[in-house]
Amino acid sequence: MLPAIPVAGGTVTTGMIHSKRATYWSWPIWSGAIDYNVIRSLLGLSQIHKEIFDRSELAKMGICEVYRSSVVKPTGRYRNFTPAQPV
């Protein structure tokens, strides 16, 4: 569901976004029952990874909230996630 693809200098994973300020992971919270393929599509949806997005467009897809967590390296070696915050 979250494939990791090797690229120059690291890996790329569904939902992980690298910006100038930080690396973060975003994921949607949806209403209603959905299947595996829809979950994969929602996790890869480019709109949820933007700084500003149109909530009304996401609501049409059944997405009621988007959460985001930053990736931090407190020891300089191992990565951890900050507590998730609604965007």
pLDDT at 8: 86
pLDDT at 30: 94
Q: pLDDT class for 10, splitting at 50, 70, 90? A: confident
Report the SS3 class of residue 6. Answer: strand
In total, the chain counts a number of residues equal to: 87
Q: 35 Cβ partners below 8 Å, 6+ apart?
A: none
Specify the pTM.
0.81
Residue 66's pLDDT is: 95
Q: Which of 65, 1, 73, 82 is nearest to 30 (CA)?
A: 65
User: For residues 29 and 67, is the Cβ–Cβ distance under 8 A?
Assistant: yes
Residue-wise pLDDT tens digits, 26-84 = 999 999 899 999 998 999 898 998 888 999 999 999 999 999 999 888 887 888 999 99
